[in-house]
Structure 1
Amino acid sequence: MGAVAAATMLYTWRVEPHWVEVVERPLPIAGLPPSMVGKRLVQVSDLHVGPVVDQDYIISSLERIAELRPDAIIVTGDFMTCHGDESVAQTLDAMRALPPAPWGRLAILGNHDYGSRWRQDYVADALCRGLEKMDVRVLRNEVAMVGDLQVAGVDEYWAGKHFQPERALRDLDTGRAALALCHNPDGVDQPQWDGFQGWILAGHTHGGQCKAPFLPPPITPVANKRYSAGEYDLAPGRWMYINRGLGYSFRVRFNARPEITAFTLQRA
């Protein structure tokens, strides 16, 4: 038993935290123009660059995205782990490994991107300025176009006043294909989303990081405990996909491998 326990601990510490799974799945979108059908959208999340996550691992994982031939790349928050702005330079150094994409690279912020207690605005602002200089557009309650697809990016739910999905959603043309981004899955349970139709891409949970087979993860940083990873039917015409993230809060994963999601766009 001791040998089994030691082997399991070694696996959860040394193997699975860096054993990235590429999840290939369709993303059916209502009203998707024919020009967008078959295009590739790659999502990564929760890099957590900083003192805990191995920098070489993050860089090699981002470099790997080029093999997937993305038409667009989306990062759904928690670029770094920090108290102040001490991890900004290291994060930007890692992001240089993110490959180009014909239709651009978009991002939203997560709670950790706001520093201590998710309230250090200057930290998030410094990160955004650096990313913009690298042609990574950070959406803060606003809409951008990826080809002919509208993408509404919402700022961080735990960042208080910055969470304003109504600002982004009101700018959507309801007659055109749309996709939304929200780092924290709890954010999509708020009433501001009531009129939205389509998919929401999220992160934040790390898939629970450790979970027994066939059981929910014992600890997830969300109020709605049904949210851990994968696809969720939220309401008629509205769904969410939660990416398990690349990084970790502490170096241990079990039955919740780090994830890169490669979506192929389809008409709903």
Structure 2
Amino acid sequence: MKIILIIITLVSGLAVILASHYFLYSTAVKFFDISDKKIKLIISVLLSILSVSFILASIMVHWMENVITRNFYLVAGIWLGWLTLLLIACLLLWLLFILSKPFGMVLNFKIIAAIFFAISFFVTAYSIVNAKRIVIKEIEVFVKNLPAQWENKVLLQVSDVHLGAINGTSFITEIVQTINQLEPEAVFITGDYFDGMDGLLDDFVEPLNNINAPQGIYFITGNHETYLGVDKVKAALSRSKIVLMDDKMIDLDGLALIGINHPVGGEKKDLADIIKANNPKKPIVLLYHIPKQIEQAKDAGVDLMLSGHTHKGQIWPYGYITRSIFGEYHYGLNQEDDFTQYTTSGVGTWGPMMRIGTQSEIVKIRLKNKP
């Protein structure tokens, strides 16, 4: 059943991509008034290649990662992001065309199309630069019965780094330098540290050993670690000072830190059961990659829950999709009574190395006692 579902998902995704490229082709031919058969053939062949480029690049970089396949993956990913903006431009062109008819408006659609497509290009260029700009998101969290030693101390959440074909050792080295400048007591890595490619896992983990955090560095897996293979991740982390939580609880100097790994395969995890099984007696900090089972976390007495996964959609307008799936928990700070939850947009990118309407962030959490 799972294999059938995967096949249906892949086929559906490919159908959407092919349809999107055909829509782009037909729109370009229409509004640029292209009638020459050779030019139309060249455009159709080019778009046909681009339509399968990301899937092909993903396969190639997984099986034979080198400078050529990495750059192919980078370009294919950016094309996929640019395609989103081109499709928006196409929709606007058709809307303007339809609306112009009843009013008898005579417009030069060739020039308008050129302007819309050029804007999409420049927005794409901006989004690439924006994705590389790391923002420090600062929040205050008030915890009931917070141990005195944690008053005004700083925790850092780093999520969705996606180290692999695009983001490599130089990226994580930059992140580590930023972390150390913030002087945290502890650092929480909340999943998708790896992108799901084999890569040089030890090279990606080694820079984490340079983090200065008196109370330690704690790691939970996300869905991309399951694609890579959790055993490989465990082996790489075992050769570092990073603590893989693996559904367990530790006493973090008076805080009950519980980290729950992402389910593997068809595994089902009930957060409340796992939390209660650990029998926490102190304020609870819960790390879980996907912002789900929020009510269970509340009922289990969690004080602070940290998640990632959504990227806040990464590229507008996909944030509307993540909001439709995860509701108010798709991004940002949520507080209710003694419960606080934060979903980060992550510090890395998946697929297109682009961010529009979102930011690459590290979350700086300052703890305060709740009266």
TM category, shorter: 0.7 to 0.9
**CA distance in 2: counterparts of 1:267 and 1:193, whole angstroms:** 19
Match status 1:204 vs 2:204: no
Aligned match of 2:46: none
| Residue 131, structure 1, aligned to residue 237, structure 2 | yes
Structure 2: distance between partners of 1:86 and 1:58: 14
1:238 equivalenced with 2:352 (yes/no): no
| Residue number among 257, 277, 294 corresponding to 1:188 in the alignment | 294
Contact kept, 8 Å, 1:39 with 1:265, in 2: the verdict is yes
Q: Does 1:262 align with 2:340?
A: no
In 2, Cα distance between equivalents of 1:89 and 1:229: 31
Q: Is the 8 A contact 2:190 2:307 kept in 1?
A: yes
CA displacement at 1:71 relative to structure 2: 0.8
Structure 1 segments (4+ residues) deviating >6 Å? none
Shift of 1:126: 2.2
Cα drift, residue 157 of structure 1: 4.3
Pairwise CA RMSD of aligned residues?
A: 2.4
In the TM superposition, 1:49-68 aligns within 5 A as 49-68=163-182
Whether 1:248 and 2:349 are equivalent positions in the alignment is yes
Q: 1 or 2, which has the higher strand percentage?
A: 1
What is the rounded CA distance, in whole Å, between the counterparts of 2:340 and 2:216 in structure 1?
24
Matches within 5 A, 1:70-219: 70-82=184-196, 85-86=198-199, 88-96=201-209, 98-115=210-227, 123-157=229-263, 159-161=265-267, 163-165=269-271, 166-174=273-281, 176-189=282-295, 191=296, 194-211=299-316, 217-219=319-321
- Alignment partners' CA distance in 2, 1:259 and 1:47: 10
Give the direction of change, closer, same or farther, for the CA distance of 1:95–1:46 in structure 2 (3 Å limit): same
Q: Which amino acid aligns with 1:8?
A: V
Flag the structure with more relative contact order, 1 or 2, with Cα contacts below 8 A and sequence separation at least 6: 1
TM superposition score normalised by structure 2? 0.62
Q: Distance in 1 between matches of 2:297 and 2:255?
A: 21
**Where does the alignment leave 5 or more consecutive residues of structure 2 unmatched?**
1-114
Give the TM-score normalised by structure 1.
Answer: 0.84
Higher helix share: 2
Q: Is the 8 A contact 1:41 1:72 kept in 2?
A: yes
What residue identity is the alignment partner of 1:91? F
Distance in 1 separating the partners of 2:301 and 2:211: 31
Secondary structure class of the residue paired with 2:232: helix
Taking a change above 3 Å as real, the CA distance of residues 133 and 93 of structure 1, as seen in their structure-2 partners, is: closer
Structure 1 alignment gaps of length 5 or more:
117-122
The 3 A distance-change label for structure 1 pair 207 and 158 is: farther
Give the whole-Å Cα distance in 2 for the aligned partners of 1:158 and 1:200: 21
1:9 maps to which of 124, 135, 147: 124
